[in-house]
Amino acid sequence: MFSWFSSTDNQNNNPPPPSYRDEPSLPSGAMYAQAAKSMKPLDLPCLNALRGKRVILASASPRRKQLLAQIGLTKVDVVPSDFAEDLEKSKYTAIEYVMETAQEKCMSVYKQEIDSDDEPTLVIAADTIICSYLGGIVEKPLSFQDHIDMLKQLRDSEPHKVITAVCVMSPLADGRAPGYAMDTHVEETIVKFDKNVTDELIESYVRTGEGADKAGGYGIQGLGTILVESVNGSYDNVVGLPLRGTLKAIESVIFPSEEEAGDIVL
């Protein structure tokens, strides 16, 4: 019977593998940790094409800016969109609503900045909503009591969805209509609150003020993590920007006619 580990084949036909002892040794322990501090940014064609170019984040969210910095986009201009975000929710599904909002935010900043002296190479916008298990969109809390009631409802109900839409735009060098490339990405993550979280803990969390400006009333990247039992899906999506989907969208607009060039494997 044939064996992949035939000693005869190895001895007579195939040379032995090289010794790992001949390879350069890697730093370990504290030495490796020190070396990692000087690690280079991701070497991806779409990100390399943005080095030294103007990238705009159409959001005032410091969390989204921090997430972009993780993939190497550290020099980002923050230009918050002036889109009113007042779409009539009854006319949209949750995914349609968040997608349309992200596109409107991106387009408003793109139109504002494209004719400036410092034309952007890329505009990134995103919108995140929380959708209850019944399908309703959970807004930001309106008051102290509304905040408490909101978190209790999320605790006492079935897991909820966090849905983020990302829209990216880049001007086309050849000027062909419509003059820009645009791509979008939508991602859903299921979040389950711990049903054993007490009313006292919820009220204590609300008093910190952390979740007052956030849809759903909590920030999973901060103290809000104490309310969460599990996350099924992308964690950074819950924070506000799904990085894998954002990278794919960036690549598609930076290389709009070279879909096979420099593909990102994610």
- At residue 197, φ and ψ (nearest 5 deg) are -65, 130
- The answer for 3, left when phi > 0, alpha when psi is -120 to 50, beta otherwise, is beta
Alpha helices in the chain (DSSP H): 7-12, 29-36, 45-48, 62-70, 94-113, 144-156, 199-208, 235-239, 243-254
Helix, strand, coil shares, percent, the chain, to 5? 40, 20, 45
- At residue 89, φ and ψ (nearest 5 deg) are -60, -30
| Residue pair 221/259 in contact by the 8 Å Cβ criterion | no
First vs last C-alpha separation in the chain: 39
- At residue 192, φ and ψ (nearest 5 deg) are -115, 125
Active site members: 127
Name residue 137's amino acid: I
Name residue 36's amino acid: A
